[in-house]
Amino acid sequence: MSTVGKALSLLNLVASLSEDTGLSDIARLAGLDKATARRLLVDLEAHGFIEQDKASKRYRIGAAPVRLARIREARFPFLRTAIPVVKALNEETEETCHLSEFSGHELWTVHVETSPRANRVIVDVGSCYPLHATASGLALLAFLPEESREAFLAQPLKAFTSHTVTDPDALRARIAETRARGASVSRNGLEPGVISTAAPILSPDGLPVGTISIAAPEVRVDDARLAALSAAAQAAASRLAAALYGLDIRQKR
């Protein structure tokens, strides 16, 4: 991996941590020696991407990514356009609805509307979930170019529960079903007792820029309810694509 690649991977790691973290722990989590980690952190800090607390010597994400995010949002208002759609979906379904954006070959959760019910699924903003074990990931994989999809399936795939599908051929079958149906379904793939469905947000060239997902406790989702949630996710993704690009992308695929 290039130096730039290592620095960006380190930046993503620091951004994913829930609290300020010291050099030794960052180096261990990144799989780097302390000297290399320190050098990369110093460079990132010099450009405002990382901050170090002078008292504790611990590191956290800096202000530069926020500035760049605001510039990007001003030019391509993904969140501003998407949040009302996700809110409406949450009000319609009363289940946890979350928006993910595809960036850097990964799918990141960028907005969550939590279910108002006492028994609900919790999703954290900033999460980067495994593609093969989640509805969001399957929806993304189904609409990626075949080369990108096969590159992902060639990697070792981790089992998170006894229901996680890790066999590439079985995943190809699920991906084909998702593409034909227009929405994915994941039962207990990442967490026991959770069922989710997701639909891709497609750009004019038919490629996914993100996903909209609905997650619910499995105990209250029968087949009819799942079909209704899947249809709602697809409709929301279609509305968002129309708002972002000015046409109904899903009807043109």
Domains, the chain, in order of start with CATH, read: 3-66 (1.10.10.10), 76-252 (3.30.450.40)
Strands 208-217 and 96-103 come out as antiparallel
State the pLDDT confidence band at 252, using cuts at 50, 70 and 90.
very low
State the pLDDT confidence band at 2, using cuts at 50, 70 and 90.
confident
Answer whether residue 139 shows pLDDT above 60. yes
Instruction: Tell the residue number behind the tokens 């992902």, with chain if given.
Output: 152
By three-state DSSP, how is residue 196 classified? strand
Contact yes or no for 194/188 (Cβ under 8 A)? yes
Answer whether residue 249 shows pLDDT above 60. no
Q: Is 133 left (phi over 0), alpha (psi -120 to 50) or beta?
A: alpha
Of 54, 45, 55, 47, nearest to 14 (Cα)? 45
CA gap 127, 111 in Å, rounded: 10
Answer whether residue 234 shows pLDDT above 90. yes
Token pair belonging to 79:
């969140």
- pLDDT tens-digit map of 173-223: 999 999 999 999 999 999 999 999 999 999 999 999 999 999 999 999 999
For the entire predicted model, the pTM comes to: 0.80
Query: In the prediction, which pLDDT does 251 show?
Result: 41
Of 139, 121, 124, nearest to 220 (Cα)? 121
Query: In the prediction, which pLDDT does 3 show?
Result: 84
